Chain A
Amino acid sequence: MSDLARGGKQKDNAVLEVRRRLATWDSIIVLLTVFVLVVASFSVTNFGTSRNFTFMILDLLPIVLVALPMTFIIVTGEIDLSVASTLGLASSIMGYLWNQGLSIESIIPICVVVGAVLGAINGFLVTGLGLPSLAVTIGTLALYRGLAFVVLGDGAVADFPFTYTGWVTGTIGDGPVPNVLVLILVLAAIFGVILHATPFGRSLFAIGANAQAAHFSGIRVARTKFWLYVVSGAVAGLVGVLWTLRYSSARADNGAGLELAVVAAVLLGGVSIFGGKGSLPGVLAGVVLLAALQNALRLQDVSGQALNIVTGALLVLSVLLPNIATSIRTTWQRRKLRRAATV
């Protein structure tokens, strides 16, 4: 083979490679997100302002943080629906302890640890007893939320110090960049690197795609999943703290229903509900897409009700469209084979 021919072939390969990469759902979603952001900035009044940017970041803060460990869990083929309730219980405990006179500096780590313990309970039920994670976490969803109400009742604790509440809602040097964006970026980078550039991350995909083969390759499947639930709980606990500080209000019903938004964002970001597939950039794009759509539609005075329809439809479509694409491709290949056979 001449060098020239080889060069041509390599170029072909490169083009194919680029096309193949672009055709995956996570890159579609990233492009779609960029598209929505650009279109909204130009067509929706007040969308592109720095203040709106701050608001949007604050609105997506809980979703994006909880989505990080949720991505890991769904990649391994499990699910954690109890995150929002863990958040609520952490918030309740925060309020309770604050009323007891503990210092906020000791409350915050306690809440994170409480979250980790709640996650460990999920993890034990799923990996230790081998129960289905969907059922377990629906159960703990009710349990943790119930306990949150038991701890704090229906009341609210509000008088958190401004140093902290102000930090959560504030921006860096009163510029356009919210303080919490730093936190989001740092955590997203850590989770992204772990998922995509460590042996641990590799093992998550293997577990999700084929847990048995992963086990045969020396991956400690149960232990890995257990720790994922612990991390998920800890992050949910942390988000409970942030939520409480953002709204200056510790309440048992904080974050109710958040799990649906998180799962929707993760699936929208191209993570397969069956496990084994997905990318963190895709998930981030999914979160931003949902938040931007909501924000833009709200600025256009579209009711929150219609947002529900959009969220639900996107969730279903994120799985349906790739499926349809695959089946069209197989039908097409079969046709081609048949044609080739009859010729």
Chain B
Amino acid sequence: MLRSHRRLLSAGAASLLVLGIAACGGTTKDSADNSGAAAQTGASADPNAKLKEGLKIAFLPKQLNNPYTDVEVGGGKVAAGELKGEYKLVGPNDASASSQVSYINTLIQQQQDVIGIAANDPNAVCPSLNQARQAGIKIVAFDSDASKDCRDVFINQATTQGIGESLVKMASELAGGSGEIAILSATPNATNQNAWIEVMKTELAKPENAKLKLVKTAYGNDDDQKSFQEAQGLLQSYPNLKVIVSPTTVGIAAASRYVSSSNYKGKVAITGLGLPNQMREYVKDGTVKKFALWNPADIGYLAAYAGAALASGQISGQQGEKFKAGKLGEYTVGAAGEIVLGPPTEFTAENIDQFNF
């Protein structure tokens, strides 16, 4: 009885192996031809083309239930209104790499004109994004980039260099120029956090920051509870810690909340990138002296305008192309299709009440 079953099973297994091996003999990481579906480039742009109306602009953020995301796409909604386009927001409940793919597929089916995406994994979304581009949809990555060869432009909130430098500057000021600092980041493979941390490390290696010591980089996975507990862990493990730098809105809020309710309050400074509305309480109660952020609504706003410019043929994603983005003024496409929003704003007890997002 079992024997016949095994026979069938092994036959099945063998045929699978054949399927696998027949394709080619011995593909390794080094020999891999990794071109993917070649992205179509070289489309010609007409800088004077009129912006089309009635464009279907869809936003696909990392996940839906995130206040930062809400503010970002909120800006996109405003822009879509100004452009007389159709705005749509879809997204997964969790920030997992694969869950975005189904949504991209749905958007392809719905024949959107522009997809604005904050990629959870730069590569996992790539095949689907390329299918979308083959279907004539323009892809604008924002916040967190997708692979260069599967999107048209990327809206960068600030230059990586600029953010890294300003994070180190704030940390140094708060630490008084010397002492232990730690980083509480999002996930270990978060594209932009990692880039910023790299810059921070280079900055810290410079002689003027020699007395600042980065003791650990912890990861709160952009999960409130996890970040909260990681902050606890940092303070337990490093009693002499002077500053926690958290380049993510979830992390900085969680760390601030923990410190404000513990006896570390006043001894440890928190800084990083945060939303004024979430941080107001901790700035007012003195836990947080200063933190920074660009205006997230502007990212979505700019993404929508960039998408409209792409769909109308004003730009094609080539370096040097220019387009107007409503109230934000004129932008130029940089190297590798990057469009930089501008420098971040620093928030302190003095100015925080002027901001509402």
Q: What is the interface of chain A, defined by CB distance below 8 A to chain B? A: 45-47, 49, 51-52, 55, 58-59, 98-99, 101-106, 108-109, 112, 153-156, 158-167, 169, 183, 186-187, 190, 193-194, 198-200, 203, 220, 223-224, 227, 231, 234, 238, 243, 246-249, 251, 253-256, 295, 298-299, 301, 304-305
Contact = CB atoms under 8 A, between A and B. Distances in A.
Interface string B79-102: 000000000101011001110011
A99 B32 CA distance: 12
A101 B31 CA distance: 10
Contact of B189 (A154, A162, A305): A154
Closest 10 CB pairs of A and B: A158-B123, A249-B124, A161-B32, A154-B188, A247-B124, A46-B109, A200-B5, A199-B1, A55-B105, A103-B26
Interface of B: 1-2, 4-5, 8-9, 12-13, 15-17, 19-21, 23-30, 32-37, 88, 90, 92-93, 96-98, 101-103, 105-106, 108-111, 121-124, 126-127, 187-189, 219, 221
B1 A304 contact: no
Contact of B29 (A45, A55, A99, A298): A99
A247 B101 contact: yes
B1 A203 contact: yes
B4 A198 contact: yes
B122 A158 contact: yes
Given A194-B5, A227-B2, A301-B90, 15 more contacts: A46-B109, A47-B109, A52-B105, A101-B28, A102-B28, A158-B123, A160-B34, A161-B27, A162-B37, A163-B24, A164-B27, A247-B98, A247-B123, A247-B127, A301-B88
Contacts of A46: 109-111
Contacts of A187: 12
Contacts of B93: 304-305
A3 B131 CA distance: 66
Contacts of A203: 1
A165 B127 contact: yes
Nearest to B125: A247
A120 to B, nearest CB: 14
A98 B28 CA distance: 7
Contacts of A169: 127
Contact of A109 (B17, B24, B110): B17
A97 B344 CA distance: 41
A200 B1 contact: yes
Contacts of A160: 32, 34
Interface of A is mostly: helix
Nearest to B34: A159
Residue among B12, B88, B92 with max Cβ neighbours from chain A (10 Å): B12
A105 B121 contact: no
Contacts of A104: 20, 27-28
8 contacts: A109-B17, A169-B127, A220-B2, A223-B2, A231-B9, A248-B127, A254-B98, A298-B90
A304 B34 CA distance: 33
Contacts of B219: 154
A162 B121 contact: no
Contacts of B23: 163-164, 167
A253 to B, nearest CB: 6
Contacts of A227: 2
Given A159-B29, A162-B36, A49 B123 contact: no
A299 B110 contact: yes
B27 A103 contact: yes
Contact of A105 (B20, B98, B106, B187): B20
Contacts of B92: 304
Contacts of A253: 96-97
Contacts of A186: 12, 15
A162 B126 CA distance: 12
Nearest to B187: A154
A159 B31 CA distance: 11
A340 B30 CA distance: 83
B9 A49 contact: no
B4 A200 contact: yes
Contact of A249 (B15, B30, B123, B187): B123
A161 B30 CA distance: 10
Nearest to A55: B105
Interface centre among B27, B97, B121 (most CB of A within 10 A): B27
Nearest to B91: A304
A299 B158 CA distance: 35
A224 B121 CA distance: 41
B187 to A, nearest CB: 5
B33 A161 contact: yes
Contacts of B12: 186-187, 190
A190 B8 contact: yes
A184 B106 CA distance: 22
A155 B189 contact: yes
A20 B103 CA distance: 41
Nearest to A223: B2
A305 B9 CA distance: 39
Contacts of B103: 298
Contacts of B124: 156, 158, 247-249, 251
B140 to A, nearest CB: 20
Contacts of B90: 298, 301
B121 A249 contact: yes
Contacts of B33: 161-163
Contact of A156 (B35, B97, B102): B97
A256 B96 contact: yes
Given A160-B32, A251-B121, A105 B109 contact: no
A248 B105 contact: no
Nearest to B100: A247
A276 to B, nearest CB: 18
A103 B20 CA distance: 11
Given A164-B27, A247-B101, A51 B127 contact: no
B2 A200 contact: yes
Contacts of B126: 248
